[in-house]
Amino acid sequence: MDTIVERLNKVELNIKSLKPIRPVNIIAVSKTFPLDYINPLIKHGHNHFGENKVQEAIVKWSNIKKNNKTIKLHMIGKLQSNKAKDAVKLFDYIHSLDSQKLADALAKHQLNLNKSLNYFIQVNIGNEMQKSGIPIGELDPFYNYCKNEINLNILGLMVIPPNDNNPEKYFKSLNELNKSLVLQDLSMGMSADYIEAVKHGATFIRVGSSIFGERS
């Protein structure tokens, strides 16, 4: 059985074989996994890790980040505005910016804590009622508000495509939306579809099971 580091290396080789135009950052999605799984990657020199719950991330990562300034922690799950202060304290990237209320809370706590994070706007690309994200029709004004009125550093867009076995059309659409806003980065693609995402311009991919194995 491959080790965690060997599985990460396989993902890196798969990406390299695609010859992407821009570097692709692999976010090792460490949510629910204990430090025994994470430490080999840190020792290997991997820096980008993803969590989806603020409180779990605080317990797991606070001491590690104090002792390792190269670690970049990504919030990839739904973020409630009442958790914004804790998120700003701990995380470096937020991939799930999906409302003005959340944007305002994050901007306020950034100012109070004198810290600047990197953000991706989550887009509800399939217009799904049950899924978070900014509708495509509201994207332009929301982006302009975040960038120009409250000074959030928006790197790009993020998407979790609908489960219809054809993620490529959604990746293509998100890339086109990203270009229309003259943004440079794209957060899309997970273990099952990161190759298709990279083909369509992803610069951040969120990979869990292909590195850590299936969650029990």
Domain boundaries, the chain: 38-185
pLDDT at 185 (0 to 100): 98
pTM score: 0.95
| Cβ pair 12, 34 in contact under 8 A | no
Q: Are 145 and 175 in contact (CB under 8 A)?
A: no
What does the buried/exposed string (b/e) look like for 38-51 if buried means 16 or more CB atoms within 10 Å of the residue's CB? beebbeeebbbbbb
pLDDT tens readout for residues 70-108: 999 999 999 999 999 999 999 999 999 999 999 999 999
Q: Report pLDDT for 214.
A: 79
Please give the pLDDT value at position 95: 98
What secondary structure letter does DSSP report for 77? Answer: S
Angle between helices 35-44 and 4-17 (to 10 degrees): 50
Phi, psi dihedrals of residue 33, rounded to the nearest 5°: -90, 140
Architecture of domain 38-185: Alpha-Beta Barrel (3.20)
| pLDDT per position as a tens digit, 178-200 | 999 999 999 999 999 999 999 99
pLDDT at 162: 85
